[in-house]
Structure 1
Amino acid sequence: MTFKPLILVPFLATPAFAGSLDQAAPEPAPAAPVVPVTTPATGDWTGPSVGVQLGYGSADADGPADDSEEGALYGVRAFYDHDFGNWVAGGGLQYDGADIDLGDAGNVDGIAKLGGRVGYDMGRTMIYGSGGYAHASTDGGALDAGSSDGYYVGIGAETYVTDNVTVSGELNYNEFEDFDANDLKVGATTATVGLNYRF
């Protein structure tokens, strides 16, 4: 009986190791960089606002005074709007001082407006249509035209430049035919840009 096979048993039972016992663990794969998700900035149009505006107007008188002239405008405005999501509705007051000479009809020295607007909310920009009551006053002139009630219709846009400040632009058509001078009718087209503070 031989004992040689028994001598090999401890070596056969020992697991074989390939390489060094101190082999380093593999390094983990680098994590993908986290990219922040940006959401488009939006504006909330609900609330009051006040502003100033500058612009240009062209007035055309028909009837006893047949004249057409142009001149600068400067004014103030105050609005209140409510944001319904995609749509914005509001109303407000505007007053533009002017000095547009209409010959015998005198000078158009001011246009006041009270009306509403309905706009589409594009986030930080709103485009809108507006309309309402308007009142024009004149000064001087052989006709002593006085003042007249009327109406206005227009389009405009307003956009945020900071969290509380917006810039705006409007194009309006105004019509007046109730002056003290009979048959005098004045149509005025005005274009203005404004700077507004929203509360």
Structure 2
Amino acid sequence: MLKHTLTAAAALLAANTAFAGNVTAPAEEPTLAPAAPVAASPNWTGFYLGGQIGYADVDTNLAGVDGDDVIGGIVAGYDYDLGNWVVGAGLDYDFADIDLGGAASVENVFRVKLRGGYKIGNGLLYATGGYANADTDTLSDDDGYFIGAGYEHLIANQFSLGGEILYHEFDNFNSTGIDVEATTIQLRGTFRF
């Protein structure tokens, strides 16, 4: 019996030694690398003030009463950033001296505008529209509307450059029976607060 007990003990000892190398350490859980920071698009919320300059083409329903020339002025407004979208309201006042074939000269254009657009990186692609008032030297002034589109790009935290094209319409200008259409293309720079 002693022989069986010694054999069993030797077998148990051999088995323990054989299994000692088989025990594997638990696998380490992989660590996730931190995600690359997502570049946040700039926040457009706030007031802006700036200037614009460009070209205006004015046509009427009278033969020979049309003209084109330089136009430019000041812009001011407020934008509100909604995430990917931006909405805003603004005022434009442009000075001009557009001769309409000797019949009149457009001297200035005032606009009250609404705009809404989609952010593309540091830029804003937008549509705009609203109220317009055009003043002439002989026909006084009249109210109309405008629609258009533009793109503005932040080149610094508080400064943007952009361009805008607008179509204006003034039906029966100052009750004269003259219908006026104007297209403006302008470059603009704004300081943002």
* TM-score calculated relative to the size of structure 2: 0.77
Q: Give identity over the alignment, percent.
A: 39
Once superposed, what is the RMSD of the aligned Cα atoms?
2.0
Which residue pairs with 2:39 in the alignment?
40
For the residue of structure 2 that corresponds to 1:197, the secondary structure is strand
Select which of 157, 163, 174 maps to 1:180.
174
Q: Pick the structure with more helix per residue.
A: 2
Q: Trace 1:50-199 onto structure 2 (pairs within 5 A).
A: 50-63=49-62, 66-139=64-137, 144-180=138-174, 182-199=176-193
2:173·2:180 contact (CA, 8 Å) conserved in 1? no
* TM-score calculated relative to the size of structure 1: 0.75
Deviation at 1:57, TM superposition (A): 0.5
Aligned residues: 161
2:98·2:107 contact (CA, 8 Å) conserved in 1? yes
Q: Trace 1:23-38 onto structure 2 (pairs within 5 A).
A: 37=36
**1:105 and 1:149, CA in 2 relative to 1: closer, same or farther beyond 3 A?**
farther
1:105·1:145 contact (CA, 8 Å) conserved in 2? no
1:153·1:174 contact (CA, 8 Å) conserved in 2? yes
Deviation at 1:90, TM superposition (A): 0.6
Q: Distance in 2 between matches of 1:92 and 1:192?
A: 16
Q: Distance in 2 between matches of 1:180 and 1:154?
A: 24
Deviation by residue 1:164-185 (Cα, 9 ceiling, x = unmatched): 1000110000111243352111
Unaligned residue ranges in structure 1 (runs of 5+): 1-35
Which residue pairs with 2:24 in the alignment?
none
Deviation by residue 1:102-123 (Cα, 9 ceiling, x = unmatched): 1253100111000100100123
Letter in 2 for 1:154: G
For the residue of structure 1 that corresponds to 2:121, the secondary structure is coil
Q: Distance in 2 between matches of 1:94 and 1:192?
A: 12
Bigger Rg, which one:
1
1:145·1:181 contact (CA, 8 Å) conserved in 2? no
